[in-house]
């Protein structure tokens, strides 16, 4: 449909129809009137809301979506199709590793490929828009939704958000298999005080503008079609009502011109935030902030018409919101093809197909991080008697909290994969995931303490007579995710006891950890020889894990987020700032920045990760020792694989602004390159630094670089001391 035709359609629509486009509800509402029952009992429909609805969330299945679309359109005055949306976060039916794990690959193209697979499957089931990617920068592992971000680092967040949007949307939204993407959560949602969900965020203007906006910008630069408001408040104003944030920053500064949607019920929650007296004022504040769609409240449908009559909002504002929604539907081709790509035949062909499974398997192997490997116990020597133990050795729940798995049987366990490959290992469960005393939502596995003790005793006996043990442990899948913030991010106590007891009777223990966040491993690392962090790897996670454990694949991932030494060290990040009293690790006691009972540094730093081979890196050399704003400095190192097998290494470049008008991070990731080398092979790696990379918000809030001395660090993680210096003149 031409733009002129959209304008004509807008002019023909009644005010009630326009308001309908600005409302999104779940499909349970369709065809209903009056007071609803069950979980939706607090909703009271006045009459035409569901007949004029603009979009629906969480309806899927090609046959179902096509039926809903047919029934809806035949009763709509202008036959405007519904827009079907869903949270497709890290895969649809074929589940990929959680986004935080994907960030560890340091391969944005991997995330793009995963998004393409997800979009094809979701589109076949009638989904036109996904509420993904999330680009919230997170440094506090206590926050449950840390699993949804690619990284604590702004460069990785930018690159992965951009790649995922490109994967979902392709170059033409009307093409089969492409769906619209929605960047979230705007903005600063990843920095809640104390890691508490849905809470206030205190971020300085400089930090917010320079660091937190970068990830969202990656999605916007890729042409993302939608953005979602965040639940948190910023500058003590909830995002959904923050006119400066949405209009000045998102739309004007970042150049976003798409549809802005609230998060679930966020418009109505403005009353709980105490900045709106009632739902009418909540609707008024949200429209003034240019929020186009009200998700899962009736604030817009019940109040916007009256607000226009009273002059509290204008018909022009309604028209702007409605036109943006119509333009999105037009970009998706819905006026010509209301079903988009919904197809029963494609559902059967695409969902969990071999091609998609293979891509998920590759992604899972690329995202597992080897944290320790003493005596090179990995890959496993399967000629030795081996025991697989722990609550995740025979467990299908190795997918993240946002995975919509209709059939858990599509996921195979480690035990099943070992059997398929005829790998001779003994098995023991060891423990349940959480133990008898727990209060975690949706966790159903129960044993008495007596049964737990018997299980542990049997496991210890097997460990005694095995030459090597692999312990598969981790948090419960719903211990991370939305509304799953935690004050204690250690492994469940019952699993800590299992590790303690097994490590007492066997010196060759490999720990495999499934998790949606960095867990505290401080006390566990010394007790085992090797730790492989598998995250929640998804549908093909067990297959990928066996590839790594047996040496068919070598781990290559690096931590995209720092691991704390204890829960109370959060938030923690490699991007620390200089202080007037820096810590001195060699001093017996000094008045310095830090703690008296814990080092100030992370347990495991950003960018860290081992492989099955060894690498050496030369001193960094620069192409010059001065640079003007029109020049580029090239940093060069030689990387050598000194081990006995092929492997991949991520060469990372960090920059430090030695002196500036405001305090700068001690180092920031500015470039990286992943290389593959055969045993004994060397390669020269060049990474460039431009003047643009040196810009920041100066003392007067100008975004620019300042002349002076810079250090360029190049190494294999964020703690490298391999540096050279240049001056910007």
Catalytic residues: 263
* Furthest C-alpha separation in the chain: 81
Assigned token pair, 594: 């830090």
- The three-class DSSP label of residue 609 is coil
574: closest CA among 490, 518, 635? 518
Question: What does the alpha-carbon distance between residue 213 and residue 187 come to, in Å, rounded to a whole number?
Answer: 7
Distance set, CA 236 to CA 99, 240, 275, 519 (Å): 29, 12, 10, 31
Which distant-in-sequence residues (6+ apart) come within 8 Å of 151 by Cβ? 100, 103, 137, 157, 160, 560, 561
Question: What does the alpha-carbon distance between residue 167 and residue 44 come to, in Å, rounded to a whole number?
Answer: 39
Q: What is the DSSP letter of 184?
A: E
User: Hey, how many other C-beta atoms are within 10 angstroms of the C-beta on 605?
Assistant: 18
Distance set, CA 210 to CA 17, 216, 578, 695 (Å): 41, 12, 17, 9
User: Hey, how many other C-beta atoms are within 10 angstroms of the C-beta on 417?
Assistant: 18
Q: Are 493 and 410 in contact (CB under 8 A)?
A: no
Question: What does the alpha-carbon distance between residue 261 and residue 289 come to, in Å, rounded to a whole number?
Answer: 11
Residue with tokens 């490298």: 720
Q: Are 389 and 502 in contact (CB under 8 A)?
A: yes
Question: What does the alpha-carbon distance between residue 611 and residue 422 come to, in Å, rounded to a whole number?
Answer: 26
Question: What does the alpha-carbon distance between residue 286 and residue 293 come to, in Å, rounded to a whole number?
Answer: 9
Question: What does the alpha-carbon distance between residue 279 and residue 298 come to, in Å, rounded to a whole number?
Answer: 8
Q: What does DSSP say about strands 647-657 and 708-715: parallel, antiparallel, or unpaired? A: antiparallel
User: Hey, how many other C-beta atoms are within 10 angstroms of the C-beta on 53?
Assistant: 23
Alpha carbon of residue 129 to chain centroid: 17
Question: What does the alpha-carbon distance between residue 206 and residue 223 come to, in Å, rounded to a whole number?
Answer: 25
Which distant-in-sequence residues (6+ apart) come within 8 Å of 63 by Cβ? 344
Q: What does DSSP say about strands 530-533 and 509-514: parallel, antiparallel, or unpaired? A: parallel
DSSP string, 311-351: TSS-HHHHHHHHHHHHHHHHHTTTTT-TTTT--HHHHHHHT
Letter string b/e over residues 635-658, b meaning 16 or more CB atoms within 10 A of that residue's CB: bbbebbbebeeebbbbbbbbbbbe
Strand partners, 549: none
Strand partners, 639: 617, 683
Assigned token pair, 83: 């827009």
Q: Are 92 and 118 in contact (CB under 8 A)?
A: yes
Question: What does the alpha-carbon distance between residue 341 and residue 338 come to, in Å, rounded to a whole number?
Answer: 9
Distance set, CA 373 to CA 399, 510, 511, 518 (Å): 25, 8, 10, 18
Q: What does DSSP say about strands 668-677 and 647-657: parallel, antiparallel, or unpaired? A: antiparallel
Question: What does the alpha-carbon distance between residue 466 and residue 384 come to, in Å, rounded to a whole number?
Answer: 8
Q: Give backbone dihedrals phi and psi of 674, rounded to 5 degrees, phi first.
A: -100, 125
Assigned token pair, 644: 């006995």
């Amino acid at each position: 449909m031409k733009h002129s035709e959209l304008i004509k359609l807008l002019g023909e629509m009644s005010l009630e129809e326009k308001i309908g486009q600005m409302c999104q509800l779940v499909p349970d509402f369709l065809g209903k009137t009056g007071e609803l029952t069950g979980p939706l009992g607090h909703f009271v429909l006045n009459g035409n809301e569901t007949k004029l609805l603009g979009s629906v969330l969480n309806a899927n299945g090609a046959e179902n979506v096509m039926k809903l679309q047919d029934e809806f359109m035949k009763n709509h005055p202008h036959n405007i199709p519904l827009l079907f949306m869903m949270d497709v976060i890290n895969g649809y039916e074929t589940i990929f590793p959680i986004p935080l794990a994907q960030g560890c690959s340091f391969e944005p193209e991997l995330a793009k490929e995963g998004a393409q697979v997800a979009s094809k499957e979701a589109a076949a089931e009638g989904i036109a828009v996904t509420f993904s990617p999330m680009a919230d920068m997170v440094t506090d592992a206590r926050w449950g939704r840390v699993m949804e971000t690619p990284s604590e680092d702004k460069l990785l967040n930018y690159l992965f958000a951009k790649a995922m949007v490109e994967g979902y949307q392709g170059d033409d939204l009307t093409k089969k298999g492409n769906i619209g993407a929605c960047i979230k959560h705007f903005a600063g949602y990843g920095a809640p005080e104390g890691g508490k969900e849905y809470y206030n965020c205190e971020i300085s203007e400089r930090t917010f503008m320079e660091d937190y906006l970068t990830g969202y910008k990656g999605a916007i630069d890729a042409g993302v079609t939608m953005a979602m408001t965040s639940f948190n408040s910023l500058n003590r104003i909830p995002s959904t009502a923050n006119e400066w944030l949405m209009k000045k920053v998102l739309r004007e500064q970042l150049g976003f011109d798409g549809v802005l949607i609230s998060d679930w019920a966020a418009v109505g929650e403005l009353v709980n935030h105490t900045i709106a007296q009632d739902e009418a004022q909540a609707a008024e504040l949200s429209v003034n902030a240019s929020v186009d769609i009200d998700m899962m409240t009736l604030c817009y449908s019940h109040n916007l018409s009256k607000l226009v009559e009273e002059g509290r909002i204008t018909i022009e504002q309604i028209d702007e919101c409605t036109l943006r929604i119509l333009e999105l539907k037009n970009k998706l081709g819905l006026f010509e093809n209301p079903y988009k790509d919904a197809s029963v035949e494609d559902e059967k062909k695409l969902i969990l197909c071999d091609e998609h499974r293979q891509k998920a398997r590759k992604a899972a192997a690329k995202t597992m991080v080897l944290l320790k490997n003493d005596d090179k116990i990995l890959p496993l020597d399967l000629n030795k008697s081996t025991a697989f133990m722990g609550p995740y050795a025979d467990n299908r729940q190795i997918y993240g909290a946002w995975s919509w798995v209709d059939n858990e049987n599509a996921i195979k366990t480690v035990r099943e994969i070992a059997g398929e490959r005829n790998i001779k290992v003994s098995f023991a469960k060891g423990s349940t995931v959480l133990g008898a005393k727990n209060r975690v939502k949706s966790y159903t596995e129960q044993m008495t303490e007596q049964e737990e003790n018997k299980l542990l005793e049997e496991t210890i006996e097997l460990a005694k007579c095995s030459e090597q043990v692999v312990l598969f442990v981790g948090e419960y899948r719903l211990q991370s995710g939305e509304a799953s913030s935690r004050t204690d991010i250690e492994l469940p106590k019952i699993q800590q006891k299992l590790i303690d007891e097994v490590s007492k009777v066997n010196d060759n223990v490999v720990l495999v950890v499934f998790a949606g966040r960095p867990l505290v491993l401080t006390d566990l690392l010394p007790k085992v020889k090797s730790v492989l962090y598998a995250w929640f790897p998804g549908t093909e996670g067990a297959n990928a894990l066996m590839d790594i454990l047996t040496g068919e694949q070598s781990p290559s991932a690096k931590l995209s987020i720092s691991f704390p030494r204890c829960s109370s060290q959060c938030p923690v990040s490699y991007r620390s700032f200089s202080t007037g009293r820096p810590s001195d690790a060699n001093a017996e006691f000094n008045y310095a920045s830090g703690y008296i009972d814990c080092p100030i540094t992370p347990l495991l730093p950003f960018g860290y990760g081992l492989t099955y081979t060894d690498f050496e890196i030369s001193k960094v050399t620069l192409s010059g020792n001065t640079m003007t704003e029109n020049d580029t400095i090239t940093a060069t190192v030689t990387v050598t694989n000194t081990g006995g097998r092929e492997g991949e290494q991520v060469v990372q470049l960090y920059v430090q602004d030695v002196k500036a008008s405001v305090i700068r991070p001690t180092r920031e990731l500015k470039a990286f390159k992943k290389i593959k080398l055969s045993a004994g092979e060397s390669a020269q790696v060049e990474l460039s630094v431009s003047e643009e990379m040196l810009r920041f918000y100066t003392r007067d809030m100008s975004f620019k670089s300042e002349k002076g001395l810079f250090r360029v660090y190049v190494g294999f993680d964020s703690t490298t001391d391999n540096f050279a210096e240049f001056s910007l003149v």
